[in-house]
Copies of this chain bind each other. A is one copy, B any other.
Amino acid sequence: MDGTGAGRARTKGSVPTATISRLPGYLRALATLMARGVVTAPSGVLAEVAGVRPEQLRKDLSLLGAHGRRGVGYDVAGLRAELEATLGLTRERRVVIVGVGNLGRALARYPGFPDRGFVVVGLVDADPAVVGTRAAGLLVEPLERLDALVRDQEATVAVIATPAEVAQDVCDRLVRAGVRGILSFAPRPLQVPVGVDLRAVDLGSELQILAFHDHHRSGGGR
């Protein structure tokens, strides 16, 4: 019951964030199944490969408006194309990486990015010793060039791999340059305006959380 609709249950804009965060996993599972030559799969099989429960997968897909066939399952290739369209992966995304230290350099070469439709089009660093060097086939440019680079290369996504101290400043610049999504590895909370999407990965925190569970000897039984 959504009152608004004339009939075409669109769902757009109302997809829960938890659902969205599982879509890349579903996509990967579908790719795996396709590679195995599987044409049709019931929710149980798909969920197993994706590492979730069948009910959750069905619920997520129904929230998206994707459909399977009762008594049969889901069309693997069809669903994959549908999810790719939902995630906007039909268009190539252009990425700028700011901070070309060990981590930034590793990310520039990370094969998982091109594999999933992301092209690194620019590298930026504040250190004069790093500027002018090459990484992953790209010339590292100075911080002053950030704005021009984002615009010229039409980058819509950026990765922040700088020290924490400068991360907010870099973030502000990226937003001003028109970037719409930011993935930050800086161990510090960042502020972005509404309309810009920020995701943060804090590697040190991840280890500390593991330490907590270790420390408290989780689980008694097997």
Contact = CB atoms under 8 A, between A and B. Distances in A.
Nearest to A22: B205
A39 to B, nearest CB: 22
Interface residues of A, number: 66
Contacts of A199: 206, 209-210
Interface string A81-107: 000001111010101000001110111
A215 interface: yes
Given A12-B216, A194-B222, 8 more contacts: A23-B212, A88-B212, A93-B211, A112-B202, A118-B207, A193-B222, A199-B209, A201-B203
21 contacts: A13-B216, A21-B209, A23-B209, A23-B212, A24-B202, A24-B209, A27-B208, A50-B189, A86-B212, A87-B212, A89-B211, A95-B207, A102-B109, A107-B203, A110-B203, A118-B204, A182-B210, A183-B206, A194-B221, A197-B210, A201-B206
